[in-house]
Amino acid sequence: MNTPVVSMDVRHVGGGVAVVDITGDVTATCEQPLMAAYEEASTGGTNRLVLNFTGLEYMNSTGIGMLVTLLVRANRQKQQLSAYGLTEHYRQIFELTRLDEAISIFDDESSALGHAGAS
């Protein structure tokens, strides 16, 4: 059985904003990398997290569940969560699951960072 591969790189872009660049598959196997990226992104007074999905190859229902867990953690820390780079397919899934009501969705990084207060 092939294990899906995912990488999550964190960039602190200033103004209390961190970007998590997601590359690969968001499935059950990404729980540890996702939570490690969240911990890294949350250092230094981060109050806004931006998820970059431009490198996303695949996401299943378990991956969506992990994003809900991330959202709950961010809400507990009073952090805002936004995303960009979702394909039309995944945008529709965010709409169907109503994740788009809790996670602001943008077309590109500059729009997401502009909304997040970073430039």
Q: What is the CATH number of the domain that holds 99?
A: 3.30.750.24
Percentage of the chain modeled with pLDDT above 70: 93
Query: Is residue 31 in a domain?
Result: yes
Residue 1 has pLDDT above 50, yes or no: no
Sequence-separated (6 or more) residues with CB below 8 Å from residue 48: 15, 16, 17, 18, 79, 80, 81, 82, 116, 117, 118
pLDDT band at 4 (very low <50, low <70, confident <90, very high): low
Segment (H or E) for 17:
strand 17-26
Among 1-10, 16-25, 39-48, 78-87, the minimum mean pLDDT is found in 1-10
Number of domains in the chain: 1
Domain hosting residue 84, numbered range:
6-116
10 Å CB burial of residue 17 (0-12, 13-18, 19+) is buried
Please tell me the predicted confidence (pLDDT) of residue 40. 96
For 69-119, the pLDDT digits (tens) are: 999 999 999 999 999 999 999 999 999 999 999 999 999 999 999 876 554
